[in-house]
Amino acid sequence: MPSTITPPEIDRHRISDGNNGHRPPTDKRTGGNGEGDGDNWNNRPRGHRGPHERISQARIGLFFALGGDLMFFVALISVFFVTKASGHFDAYDHFINQWLPTAIPSILWLNTIALLLSSVTAEIARRAMFRDVDAMDEWFGLGRPVSYRAALWLSATLALGILFLAGQWVAWDQLAAQHVFFRSNPSSHFFYLITITHAVHLFLGIVALIVALAALKFSRSLATRQVFVDTTVWYWHVMGALWIFLFLLLEFGQ
């Protein structure tokens, strides 16, 4: 018995356009909104333009937050230069400069290498989140290859970040053993101020990494996972670049 297909209701009541044949009852062009550009998310209202808009907004928010932060560090560096040049006049009208350069512990070189490596692993994690084929699989719910790979690299970043902070602690310990403290000299004062302030920021980065790892594990939306990883990694990169600058300042700028 041949199989018969009953035409659907919509095809049995086609609208005649008065010419040969009939118009299809529905617009068959892609997009489905009659304009052919229904897939253009840029035409949607602000706030509903898809994952790319969310990432852009998050990046801009991060840029302005880090802009304020950067100005704080620039102010610190400015005061560093002014204090380095400042002094006072003694009873014989001699200009006395109290700045004695602090010998930077050599472990800071190793810490810097650890932080550079952590930026590399973080960038691998970030790029893994946007690998087209894998991201598409994950978008369709075919496992979590992207999140799994990113979580591995973010964990490596986390470990290197903790290693950096532990190294900074060792550096402070070594200076304390040489009786170089926060108030010993203007130079040591700035060494502690700059390294501790940066360490606090890096600690916030470690918290952000833990939050991003939790998002990779628990968030159900791929776009949310991408936003968390992307912003965390950009924050990490900025802190890494800032450290390179601060380290060069402390090593060669005294």
Residues 216-235 that bind another protein (CB under 8 A): none
User: From CA 251, how far away is CA 254, in angstroms rounded?
Assistant: 7
Contact 80, 194 (CB under 8 A): yes
Cα–Cα distances in angstroms (integers) from residue 181 to residues 188, 189, 199, 215, 248, in the given order? 7, 7, 17, 40, 21
CB of 246 to another protein, least distance (A): 14
Using CB under 8 A as the criterion, what x/- string covers residues 173-202 for binding another protein? ------------------------------
Of 55-63, 109-117, 160-168, 222-230, which segment contacts another protein by CB under 8 A?
A: 55-63
What is the phi/psi pair of residue 35, to 5°?
-100, -15
Using CB under 8 A as the criterion, what x/- string covers residues 61-90 for binding another protein? --xx--x--xx--xx-xxx-xx-xxxx---
Using CB under 8 A as the criterion, what x/- string covers residues 11-50 for binding another protein? ----------------------------------------
Q: What is the DSSP letter of 165?
A: H
User: From CA 17, how far away is CA 24, in angstroms rounded?
Assistant: 10
Q: Which is nearer to another protein, 93 or 132 (CB)?
A: 93
User: From CA 202, how far away is CA 235, in angstroms rounded?
Assistant: 9
CB of 94 to another protein, least distance (A): 11
CB of 79 to another protein, least distance (A): 7
Under rule CB under 8 A, how many of the chain's residues touch another protein?
Answer: 19
DSSP 85-125: H--EE-TTS-EE----PPPPPTHHHHHHHHHHHHHHHHHHH
CB atoms within 10 A of CB 159: 14
Q: Which is nearer to another protein, 13 or 88 (CB)?
A: 88
CB of 190 to another protein, least distance (A): 13
User: From CA 253, how far away is CA 42, in angstroms rounded?
Assistant: 49
Contact 25, 8 (CB under 8 A): no
Q: Which is nearer to another protein, 149 or 198 (CB)?
A: 198
CB of 95 to another protein, least distance (A): 6
CB of 74 to another protein, least distance (A): 4
Residues that bind another protein (CB under 8 A): 56, 60, 63-64, 67, 70-71, 74-75, 77-79, 81-82, 84-87, 95
